[in-house]
Each structure stands twice: as C-alpha cells, then as structure tokens.
C-alpha cells in the first residue's frame, strides 16, 4: 500500500493519495481543486487515479473531486447521509457510488469502510482503511475529514454562523456528541488522518502535527473528555473563530458541482486606460506587499498581499462581481491558482503595477507609524485606534484605547464614518491592519494610518495593554461612528473623535 500526504499551507488543508501497489490504482481523499499535484504524484508512483472520495460537502475550499472525475475518469465516492438538502447534485454525471454507514468500496486490495460521523455537517462521513493486499483483516487507520482533528474537533456552528441556518448549531453539537461516542469505540491503535491542521477555521485549537492516533486523541483531545452532553455542547459552541462568510458560497458550489477548470488560460492583461472605469466597482485588488501599496497605489483599489490572499480574499471579495488584480506577471499563475481554490472565478484581468507607475496612476498612499508615534497621536486627540483582530485575540489582550472591528466587517461599516479624525488600524503584527488601512482608503477615507508591528511592537515599546472591554455607547450619544455599526460578537465601534 502507498499512502501519500499533501498539505496546502494557504488553506491548512490536508488530502491523501491511497494506492494499491498490487493493482496500480489510487484514490484521492478530500482532494483540493489543484488536481495537477495529484496527477503528477500518481505518475511518479506509477499509479492511476481511479477514485476521488470526499468526507463531506466542504465549506472552506472547492473540492477537486469533480475535476478528477472529468480529467481522469475517477469514480466519485460521496456521502448519501443527511437530509435531502445535503445531497450532491452533480454525481449522476459521472461514475459514482453514494455511501451510507457500513458501506464499503475497494481501491485494488484496499478496503474503505464508511462511518457516518455527523455534527460538523449532517452528511459527514469518515473512512476506515484496511490493507487487505498486505494481509490485514482489521483497519489500520481512519480518514476523519473535518470530524476529529489532531487536538480538536470539527465545529458544528458553521451552517448557522456562515449560512444563516438558524438553530443548526445546537443540533449539530448534539449530533457531534453522538459521533464522538462512536469514535471512542474505535481501537486505540488506529492512525488518524484529518483534513485540516493548525490555522483552519473549521475548528478551534487545531494541532500542527499532521496525524495522530485514535488512542492518543481519546486521551488528550480536549473535545473528547466530556461525559455530559450539555457540557460538551457548551464547550464546542464557545470561543469558536469567526466563521468566514464565503463558507456559505463554498457549500453551494461543492453541492451543485464546481466548474471544471481543465487547463484554463490566465486572464488577460488590461491596459491602463481602463483603470478609472473599473475602480468604481471597488473590486480591484492589489496583491503587492503592504509596504509597496502604502507608498503608492491606484485610488479605489485595496490591498491583499499575495501571502494573505487565500486567508482573506474569501472574506472580502464580492463573488457576484468581477475581480481585477494588480500584480506583476511572475505572480499571476499563483494568484489565479489560489483564487480558484476558494471559488473566485470571475477574474477579468490583470494590471501591471509597473505600467500604472509609468503613467502616474499610483497616486494613493497611507502612513505607517511606530507604536510611539501612534501613542502620541492618541494622547493629542488625533486618532481613533481600531483593532481588527478576532474576538478571542481581543479578549486575551488589547490596547486600552482601542475599539474593535473585525477585519471582515470593515467594508460594510467604513462608509458610515463621517468624523475628521485619523483612523489608525492595528492587529497582532501589522499584516491584517495593513489590509484594513487599504480598505479605508478604498472607501474614500483620507487620513489613514497603519500601526507598524501591531500589538507585539506596542508591547515591545513598553506601552501598556489592557483586558478591559469597552461598552457600547448608549442611545443619544453623539458618536461620529454610528452605535453598533461594527458589531462582531463582543466589542465594537463606539468611538467619538477625540478632537
């Protein structure tokens, strides 16, 4: 048997190739959309990909199962569990097998047995692997998808938080508790191969180790230590990371069937004279570094550096509008690959930043200031400090003068700001706040500052931090930013311009 591990760091996504060396057949478990990686690995191993198996309808990336079915004739192995609204709608177009609890399928001499493990989603299944070609009669491992991770477990609240399906979080948590009871009955020696690692928004506190064992997780995974159902429900529904809004789009795309990409050509380069008409839609993304963007950028564009594109494009891009990108030619293939992985396909073209600079069209800028400079601004009444980190980060520690607005909620609220103050953005180390500063500039706010180095640099400079959470302004307060305009769980806009 051959087992090969693939890990996409941009999405914290793990997938696997399982091959039978006796027959030369292989299956890809939870494939991502960039299937060329699997095809190349199969060729190197002298394997033929004959199957593609998903554990559930993924929400954080576009599945590559359909792409594999189209490109190399792979048979689809898909869940048939859950209610009618959680059924795959494209399976009939290809060779496929729909799977329920106890079903089996073979890849050569390798047996896969299905366990229904709902909770993260209603249709979620896991695969027990038995290498019968190697003489085994009992399983050696479990492909757990987004059910059990190393050190964590799949969150049950995504349908409610991201897709607005009210009441599904608590019901999913109870299903997850029952799935855990089933997991505890599995033999301790089984290897555990999950679909995500540290950094994924599909759970809280995921470990960075690629794999584990069932026995180890039974003993040390915090989510598996609860005997009481209610105690588990309370635990799993608390302190989850913010749910990306694009997850609802991914659920629909993966259920209905993603577009088959094949060998899609790169979008064209667009001439500079088209820039002024395009930026009105506010869908021009500059993927250069934040340092380059802050020094000179096209007015109306906003900045998501290439290194942050997989993490933040899904939050900030309007999937219903065309996307234009400012990027040098050498970065464009990787940019397209990343955007396709999260379902952004309406890429209308690229602008060359060098050409824009030659024609004098990079006229926008914002300031980057040190913690000492920002502290001076605030003390002099010239600035509102806005922390764009997540709820858990804020709760652990924040700058006393800061107000909080989660980065993804900025676009819908910045237009409401009418005060004369400088907006100062801050995060952990300066990356997310630079994106926030670019969004403010794109919204037409002139006085914008990014706190260089974030709260880390603030502390290194010996400046104080606080755990005191600000309260919302009460009715009747004359706030320059509307009350509650940027609500996100715990703390929010509530500031008046100090000047």
| Token pair listed for 99 | 């799977």
Lowest mean pLDDT among 298-302, 367-371, 378-382, 478-482: 478-482
Last residue of a domain, one of 227, 256, 285: 256
**Is the domain of 375 the same as that of 351?**
no
Last residue of a domain, one of 309, 332, 358: 358
**Is the domain of 61 the same as that of 85?**
yes
Last residue of a domain, one of 207, 227, 256: 256
| Domain membership flag for residue 473 | no
| Domain membership flag for residue 485 | no
pLDDT tens across 168-218, in order? 899 999 999 999 999 999 999 999 999 999 888 888 888 889 999 999 999
CATH of residue 46's domain is 3.60.15.10
CA angle 67-71-72, nearest 5°?
A: 115
**Is residue 310 left, alpha or beta, with left meaning phi > 0 and alpha meaning psi from -120 to 50?**
alpha
| pLDDT of 478 higher than 70 | no
Interatomic CA distance for residues 340 and 35, integer angstroms: 12
pLDDT tens across 116-135, in order? 999 999 999 999 999 999 99
> 332-344 burial, b for 16+ CB within 10 Å, e for fewer?
beebbbbbbbbbb
pLDDT tens across 131-150, in order? 999 999 999 999 999 999 99
Domain enclosing residue 455, as ranges: 368-460
Overall average pLDDT of the 79-86 stretch: 91
CATH of residue 438's domain is 3.40.250.10
Q: Give the per-residue pLDDT at 420.
A: 79
**Is the domain of 153 the same as that of 83?**
yes
Q: Give the per-residue pLDDT at 312.
A: 94
Interatomic CA distance for residues 302 and 273, integer angstroms: 19
**Is the domain of 177 the same as that of 226?**
yes
Residue 49 bridge partners (DSSP): 26
Q: Give the per-residue pLDDT at 181.
A: 95
| Domain membership flag for residue 121 | yes
**Is the domain of 171 the same as that of 120?**
yes
Single pTM value for the model: 0.88
Tally the domains of the chain.
3
Confidence of residue 273 (pLDDT cuts 50, 70, 90): confident
Quote the strand ranges of 344-435, DSSP E.
347-351, 367-369, 384-387, 403-404, 423-426
| pLDDT of 499 higher than 50 | no
Q: Give the per-residue pLDDT at 413.
A: 81
Q: Give the per-residue pLDDT at 263.
A: 74
Percent residues over pLDDT 70 in the chain: 90
Cβ count near 256 (within 10 Å): 11
Q: Are strands 423-426 and 448-451 parallel, antiparallel or unpaired?
A: parallel
Q: Give the per-residue pLDDT at 417.
A: 62
Interatomic CA distance for residues 196 and 143, integer angstroms: 11
| Domain membership flag for residue 472 | no
| pLDDT of 494 higher than 90 | no
pLDDT tens across 451-471, in order? 999 999 999 999 988 865 443
**Is the domain of 82 the same as that of 195?**
yes
| Domain membership flag for residue 117 | yes
**Is the domain of 251 the same as that of 288?**
no
| Domain membership flag for residue 481 | no
| Domain membership flag for residue 33 | yes
Written as one string, the DSSP assignment of 463-478 is: ---B-PPPPPPPTT--
Task: Find all residues with CB under 8 Å of 389, minimum gap 6, and list them.
Answer: 398, 404, 406, 407, 427, 428, 432, 455
């Amino acid at each position: 048997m051959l087992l090969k591990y693939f890990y996409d760091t941009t999405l914290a996504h793990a997938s696997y190739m399982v091959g039978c060396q006796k027959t030369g057949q292989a299956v890809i478990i939870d494939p991502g959309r960039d299937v060329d990686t699997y095809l190349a690995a199969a060729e190197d191993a002298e394997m033929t990909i004959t199957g593609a198996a998903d554990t559930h309808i993924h929400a954080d990336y576009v599945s590559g199962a359909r792409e594999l079915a189209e490109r190399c004739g792979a048979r689809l192995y898909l869940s048939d569990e859950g209610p009618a609204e959680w059924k795959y709608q494209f399976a009939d177009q290809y060779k496929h097998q729909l799977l329920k609890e106890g079903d089996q399928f073979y890849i050569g001499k390798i047996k896969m047995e299905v366990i229904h493990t709902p909770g993260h989603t209603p249709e979620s299944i896991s695969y027990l692997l038995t290498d019968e070609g190697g003489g085994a009669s009992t399983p050696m491992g479990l492909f757990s998808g987004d059910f059990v991770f190393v050190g964590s477990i799949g969150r049950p609240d995504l349908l409610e938080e991201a897709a607005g399906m009210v009441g599904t979080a608590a019901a999913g948590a109870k299903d997850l508790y029952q799935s855990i009871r089933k997991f505890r009955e599995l033999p301790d020696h089984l290897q555990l191969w999950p679909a995500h690692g540290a950094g994924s928004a599909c759970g809280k506190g995921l470990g960075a180790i690629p794999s584990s064992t069932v026995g180890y997780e039974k003993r040390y995974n915090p989510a598996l230590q609860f005997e009481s159902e209610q105690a588990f429900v309370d635990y799993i529904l608390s302190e989850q990371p913010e749910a990306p809004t694009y997850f609802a789009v991914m659920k629909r795309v993966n259920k209905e069937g993603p577009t088959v990409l094949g060998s899609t050509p790169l979008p064209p380069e667009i001439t500079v004279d088209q820039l002024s008409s395009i930026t009105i839609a506010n869908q021009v993304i500059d993927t250069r570094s934040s340092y380059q963007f802050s020094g000179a950028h096209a007015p109306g564009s906003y900045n998501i550096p290439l290194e942050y594109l997989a993490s933040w494009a899904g939050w900030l891009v309007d999937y219903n509008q065309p996307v234009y990108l400012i990027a040098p030619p050498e970065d464009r293939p990787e940019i397209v690959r990343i955007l396709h992985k999260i379902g952004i396909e309406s890429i209308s073209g690229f602008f060359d930043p060098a050409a824009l600079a030659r024609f004098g069209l990079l006229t926008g800028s914002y300031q980057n200031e040190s913690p000492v400079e920002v502290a001076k601004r605030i003390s002099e009444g010239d600035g509102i400090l806005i922390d764009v980190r997540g709820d858990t980060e804020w709760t652990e520690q924040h700058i006393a003068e800061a107000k909080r607005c989660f980065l993804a909620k900025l676009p819908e609220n910045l237009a409401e700001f009418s005060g004369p103050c400088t907006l100062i953005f801050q995060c952990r180390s300066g990356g997310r706040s630079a994106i926030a500063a670019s969004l403010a500039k794109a919204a037409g706010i002139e006085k914008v500052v990014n706190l260089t180095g974030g709260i880390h640099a603030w502390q290194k400079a010996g400046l104080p931090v606080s755990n005191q959470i600000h309260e919302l302004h009460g009715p009747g307060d004359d706030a320059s930013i509307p009350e509650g305009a940027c609500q996100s769980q715990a703390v929010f806009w509530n500031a008046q311009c100090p000047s």
